[in-house]
Amino acid sequence: MPKLQTLKPRLQAAGSRLPVLVPTRPDTVERVRGWRGVKDRDRIRERDCGLCQECLRQGRTSVGVAVDHKTPLWNHGSDADSNKELLCQPCHDAKSAREARERAGRP
């Protein structure tokens, strides 16, 4: 009876299917994501009593919807709770537009 031969593998083993995330700038802080990020945002909402902190500084009262970094991560801000605040949508949009102009080098 003839002896069976084992076929040699023709395919190479696949590496990891998950892409390796390399930070675009080594001096930036990686933001917290996933379940830990959800818990962080809930904690900030509770700390700020659900109110927009920018509106409170200007003597107004409005409901906050977005947890935002006071100093952006790209500008060497930390991801600590002390660098986060709750903002209403109009305040968040205005701050984001201002930071986008600053990051692009425009006044």
- Number of separate domains in the chain: 1
| Residue carrying structure tokens 């006071």 | 70
Q: Is 25 inside any structural domain? A: no
Residue pLDDT, tens place only, 15-67: 666 665 555 565 656 777 888 889 999 999 999 999 999 999 999 999 999 99
Residue scoring higher pLDDT (61 or 12): 61
Q: Is 21 inside any structural domain? A: no
d(CA 95, CA 103): 12
Residue 70: predicted pLDDT = 96
Residue pLDDT, tens place only, 56-96: 999 999 999 999 999 998 888 998 999 999 999 999 999 99
Q: Is 8 inside any structural domain? A: no
Range of the domain at 50: 34-104
C-alpha 107 chain-centroid distance? 25
Q: Is 17 inside any structural domain? A: no
Q: Is 99 inside any structural domain? A: yes
Residue 95: predicted pLDDT = 96
> Over 80: is that where the pLDDT of 7 sits?
no
